[in-house]
Structure formats: C-alpha cells, structure tokens
Amino acid sequence: MKKVSTDKAPAAIGPYSQGVISGNLFFTSGQIPLSPESGEIIGSDIKEQTLQVMKNMAGLLESQNVSFDNVIKTTCFLADMGDFAAFNEVYAEYFTGKPARSCVAVKTLPKGVLCEVEAIVEMNS
C-alpha cells in the first residue's frame, strides 16, 4: 500500500492520508471545498463548493497521472438533498464517463461545508 500526498489538493485535516494506492486501485479520501494553499473554505453555495471539490479531485488525480476518465466509482455526500440538481450540474462537467456512484444526504460535513466527494480510481497499467 502506498500513501498519496500532494500539494495539488488540500492537506488532510485529520489522521488520514489524501489517498491510498493498493494494487491497481487509487482510493481518494473525501474532498471538500478547501483551498489547497490556505485551507480555507471556497464558495458559499453548492455550485461554487462543488467546483472547488472538483478542482481538488483533479489535483489528486493529476498527482498520480490519471484523470476523471479513470474513476470507476464515486461516493458523494450532500448536506442538503435539495442541492442535488445543482450539484449534478457541476459534477457532470467533470465525470463525463459516468462512473458508478452513490449520493447521500448527511446531517453535517466537516467544517460545515455543503458537499464532499470520494473516488475509487483505476490506475493506468
């Protein structure tokens, strides 16, 4: 198992890695809308926050020389299922390959953000 660490995505805010590679799979930790540089929350609405989450996910993927096309499964967490349609608008711009997905509403997310996304990625052979 290899732990992933990159400055292209926010540092972990707890006792975990930004991601882990096991065999041919890359498991990302959940990405929330934090600036990789400052650690501050970016955006005040669901679309702005989702955009930052996608930028953070892109940074993690790029750090391992893979892309959104390599993602085989995502799990998405929303603070309010009323944001589902707006979240999907931004999400669909990035996950054009339509990986498998679960999307659930949760009571709260770290730092009070509106969304979080984690992914399972197939590494290039």
115 catalytic? Reply is no
H or E stretch at 93: helix 84-94
The answer to whether the CB of 51 falls within 8 A of the CB of 43 is yes
Task: Output the pLDDT for position 125.
Answer: 56
Answer whether 0.75 is exceeded by the pTM. yes
Would you write out the chain's pLDDT as a tens digit for each of its 125 residues?
Answer: 999 999 999 998 889 999 999 999 999 999 999 999 999 999 999 999 999 999 999 999 999 999 999 999 999 999 999 999 999 999 999 999 999 999 999 999 999 999 999 999 999 75
Q: How many domains does the chain contain in total? A: 1
Domain CATH code at residue 47: 3.30.1330.40
Domain carrying residue 47: 2-122
Residues ≥6 apart with Cβ < 8 Å to 17: 3, 4, 5, 29
Catalytic-labelled residue, pool 4, 103, 109, 123: 103
Q: What is the pLDDT of residue 124?
A: 79
- How many CB atoms are closer than 10 A to CB 42? 19
